[in-house]
Amino acid sequence: MRLIRLLAAIACLVAGIAVGALNPQPVALDLGFVSLRAGLGVIVLAALLGGVILGGLILTASVVLPLKQRLRRTTANAPAKTDEGR
């Protein structure tokens, strides 16, 4: 499992370096209140990272937290097990 994670991290690092190297054109990103200047590869990788983080937060809020709440409710309402039946 550790080897798979290491290989995935190395593959992502190599892909990021390739995207950055193949897209060196300088671009300006105007967000309305601030203008950022960076290479196209950096902008693309930052957008991908932002999407992954935003998707993870949405998944956590819409799936994980309701399931945790449901599990907490279920365990609180379950009858306590005792050793009297032995």
Domain assignment of residue 49, given as a range:
40-76
Q: Is residue 62 part of a domain?
A: yes
Residue whose entry in the numeric block shows the structure tokens 């693309």: 44
Q: Is residue 48 part of a domain?
A: yes
Q: Average model confidence (pLDDT) for the chain?
A: 87
Question: In angstroms, rounded to a whole number, what is the distance separating the alpha carbons of residues 2 and 44?
Answer: 28
Number of domains in the chain: 1
Q: Is residue 71 part of a domain?
A: yes
State pLDDT tens for residues 26-53: 999 888 898 889 999 888 888 889 999 9
Q: Is residue 47 part of a domain?
A: yes
Q: Is 74 exposed, middle or buried (0-12, 13-18, 19+ CB in 10 A)?
A: exposed
Nearest in space to 13 (alpha carbons), one of 56, 45, 59, 60: 45
Q: Strands, DSSP E only, in the chain? A: 26-30, 35-39
Query: Average of pLDDT values for 4-18?
Result: 90
Q: Kindly report the number of other CB atoms within 10 A of residue 29's CB atom.
A: 14
Query: Average of pLDDT values for 59-86?
Result: 83
Q: Is residue 46 part of a domain?
A: yes
